[in-house]
Amino acid sequence: MLRASVGGAREVEASGETVREVLRGLISAHPATESQLFGGDGELNRYVNVYLGDEDIRVLDGLDTAVGAADTLVILPAMAGG
C-alpha cells in the first residue's frame, strides 16, 4: 500500500538528521503516505515498523534516532496474506 503511494517505487530518497525528519521528508514528497505512517497523535502507527539497518527504531531512540547520509530505513507494514 505504501508503494502505491510513492508511485510504485521500492526505494525512495529522503533526507534528514533523524528518522522523524526523513519520514516527514517522505511525506512532503508523497503526501499519501502520511495517514499510513502516522496517527493523529503524531506518533508512528503501531502496525508500521521502521528499522534503521536491521534494528527497530523503537529500541533505538524512536523517531529521534539519528540517521546518517548513507543509512537505509526499512518501512515495514504488517501483512496477512496467505
Partner 1 sequence: MSPSGAEFIRQVKAEITETDPRDVHELIGNGVAIVDVRESDEWAQGHLPGAKHVPRGYLESRIEGVVPDRSQRVILYCASGNRSALAAHTLGHDLGYEHVESMTGGITLWKDRGYEVEQPKTFTAEQRERYSRHILIPEIGESGQHKLLEARVLLLGAGGLGSPTALYLAAAGVGTIGIVDDDVVDLSNLQRQVIHNTARIGVPKVESAEETIHALNPDVTVVPYQTRLDASNIMEIIEGWDIIVDGVDNFPTRYLLNDASVRLQIPVVSASILGFDGQLSIFKPYAGPCYRCLFPEPPPAEFAPSCGANGVLGVLPGTMGLLQATEVIKLIVGAGEPAIGRLLLYDALAATLGEVKVRRDPECPICSRDPSSITDEEMGVFPDYEAFCAAAG
3-state secondary structure of 24: helix
> Distance between CA 24 and CA 70 in Å, rounded?
18
Candidate list 1, 40, 41, 69; residue touching partner 1; CB under 8 A = 1
Candidate list 10, 41, 68, 69; residue touching partner 1; CB under 8 A = 10
Nearer to partner 1 by C-beta: 53 or 68?
A: 53
> Distance between CA 55 and CA 33 in Å, rounded?
22
Closest separation in Å from C-beta 75 to partner 1: 11
> Distance between CA 55 and CA 61 in Å, rounded?
11
Closest CA to 14 of 25, 4, 3: 25
Q: Is 46 in the site for partner 1 (CB under 8 A)?
A: yes
Nearer to partner 1 by C-beta: 24 or 58?
A: 58
- Between 51 and 70, how does the x/- string for binding to partner 1 read (CB under 8 A)? x--xxx--x-----------
